[in-house]
Amino acid sequence: MTELRVGLLGLGTIGTGVARILIEQKDLISRRLGKQVRLIAAADRDLGRDRGLDFTGVRLCDDANDIVSADDIDLVVELIGGYEPARTFVAAALANGKHVVTANKALIAKHGEELFPLAASKGLQIGFEAAVGGGIPCMKALREGLAANAIESVYGILNGTCNFILTKMENEGVDYADVLKEAQALGYAEADPTFDVEGIDTAQKLSILAAMAFGSKIRFDEVFTEGISRITATDIQAAHEMGYRIKLLGIAKPHGENGAVDAVEMRVHPTLVPLSSQMAQVSDSYNAVQISGDFVEHTMYFGRGAGERPTASAVVADIMDITSGFPHAITHLAPPMGFVESSRRNIPTMPMADTVCEYFIRLMVKDQPGVIASVTSILADHRISLEALTQKERHKSHNVPIIMLTHETTEGNLQAAISRITGLDAVEEDVLILRKESAVA
């Protein structure tokens, strides 16, 4: 039986999961493929730790160079994470004629554009399904199942840590800092949670999805990114009373005329979604991606976005895709980014100031006559119309939270109005702005 020989870089949580599937599901995999996938070697700096697996017949080493240069390996799985040395090892593996599968969204978001042509020039494949949405096959759906559609929008809850924190804040009425501490104690959030809670992880994933949706190049550095660290229990409760739930969403939409995509809108921020939407039901650490196409309309993909077993499931599915055509040149798979390399375009990112949204605005103001009149008069100057306005109970500080929902306006116009509102004597603290997406299914 034809055999594809795998070398693993990294035997951490995901690497151990991949090894587990390749060992424990060996028969299932060969029955599905009519070919075998064999784990030949694995590299990790810490080989002493018991991983609860029988590695008999697997060459264990502590130097990744031994794997990327080995003659008896056809496919390298990179599970080191981060930019370097992952990039160097992946480039070396491709240069040495090996297919690559990775779960590394940072690597693809930042260096994918140099790695894809390298792979294509050698007839090799880079699989990265595990990099976005963990175990959810959302990129396979986008690249293959939805290939007949012009994609109209992508919405995603792409970070389980943030979704866990927001869900707990809402269910228990507690503030961000308290939930974060608990999430860290439970091991859900990292000791330095910046990457997750400030939206960077979501932005990396969104930049990959957007490029795959619209045939553009990956522009991670241009994604407008705001995290969840300024959200309070009061904001969550006020949004709920107005019929919305707050989710950290990655949002991508194409802009252009007559079917051409001239600009791509990409933004990550806490977003109000209708309580009745499917997206609002996605709770705890689950992820979900909604992709809409011109023929298919709305589709939605839901599941575990992280963890050993779901992430390893996506990694091994990529290995199996490559194995199915092996040992011939990889011509049976869709191109990694869903469009042939020569047709992918460098489409500009739409400036955030041009984005049109409805807004949730929270102000802390002095409790005195005329404050709301001054605020609404500035909004009127900017032709910003209000959908709702509510005043909450006075805080211990004697300031009063005012919450407003606006109708549509551009981000540039809203920011100009907010900058004037912030300058009012009666406005006490930084104003919080959240954006609303009623089109989420």
Provide the token pair at 229: 């660290």
Segment interacting with ligand HSE, rule: CB under 6 A, options 5-13, 28-36, 157-165, 255-263: 157-165
Give the C-alpha separation, 341 to 119, whole Å. Answer: 11
Segment interacting with ligand HSE, rule: CB under 6 A, options 144-152, 154-162, 340-348, 423-431: 154-162
Give the C-alpha separation, 266 to 204, whole Å. Answer: 11
Verify binding: residue 74, ligand HSE, rule CB under 6 A. Answer: no
| Closest to ligand HSE by CB, 159 or 225 | 159
Residue positions counted in the chain: 441
**Least CB distance from residue 321 to ligand HSE, whole Å?**
21
Which residues lie closer than 8 Å to 221 by C-beta, 6 or more apart? none
Using DSSP, state whether 76 is helix, strand or coil: strand
- Known catalytic residue: 205? yes
In 281-431 the beta strands, taken as DSSP E runs, fall at: 286-293, 297-304, 356-366, 386-391, 399-406, 409-410
Residue of 98, 110, 140, 205 with catalytic role? 205
**Least CB distance from residue 399 to ligand HSE, whole Å?**
33
**Least CB distance from residue 162 to ligand HSE, whole Å?**
7
**Least CB distance from residue 131 to ligand HSE, whole Å?**
8
> Measuring CA to CA, which residue among 174, 235, 236 is closest to residue 362?
235
Give the C-alpha separation, 374 to 217, whole Å. Answer: 45
In 66-166 the beta strands, taken as DSSP E runs, fall at: 75-78, 99-102, 126-127, 151-157
Among 16, 102, 104, 159, binds ligand HSE (CB under 6 A): 159
Verify binding: residue 112, ligand HSE, rule CB under 6 A. Answer: no
For 128-141, letters b (16+ CB in 10 Å) and e give bbbbbbbbbbbbbb
Could you tell me if 172 and 183 are in contact, meaning their C-beta atoms sit under 8 angstroms apart? no
**Least CB distance from residue 199 to ligand HSE, whole Å?**
11
| Closest to ligand HSE by CB, 74 or 196 | 196
Cis omega (within 30 of 0) for bond into 274: no
Verify binding: residue 161, ligand HSE, rule CB under 6 A. Answer: yes
Give the C-alpha separation, 143 to 215, whole Å. Answer: 10
| Closest to ligand HSE by CB, 55 or 195 | 195
Using DSSP, state whether 437 is helix, strand or coil: coil
Among 7, 10, 137, 160, binds ligand HSE (CB under 6 A): 160
Within 390-419, which residues bind ligand HSE (CB under 6 A)?
Answer: none
Strand-strand pairing, 286-293 and 151-157? antiparallel
| Closest to ligand HSE by CB, 159 or 355 | 159
Compose the 287-316 pattern: x for residues touching ligand HSE by CB under 6 A, - for all others.
------------------xx----------
| Closest to ligand HSE by CB, 78 or 201 | 201
Site size with ligand HSE, rule: CB under 6 A: 7
Provide the token pair at 32: 């599905």
- From first CA to last CA, the distance across the chain in angstroms is 46
**Least CB distance from residue 111 to ligand HSE, whole Å?**
17
Segment interacting with ligand HSE, rule: CB under 6 A, options 83-91, 153-161, 208-216, 410-418: 153-161
Give the C-alpha separation, 396 to 348, whole Å. Answer: 47
Within 179-238, which residues bind ligand HSE (CB under 6 A)?
Answer: 196, 201
| Closest to ligand HSE by CB, 211 or 330 | 211
| Closest to ligand HSE by CB, 120 or 218 | 218
**Least CB distance from residue 285 to ligand HSE, whole Å?**
7
Give the C-alpha separation, 375 to 371, whole Å. Answer: 6
Residues that are catalytic:
205
Q: Where does this chain bind ligand HSE (CB under 6 A)?
A: 159-161, 196, 201, 305-306
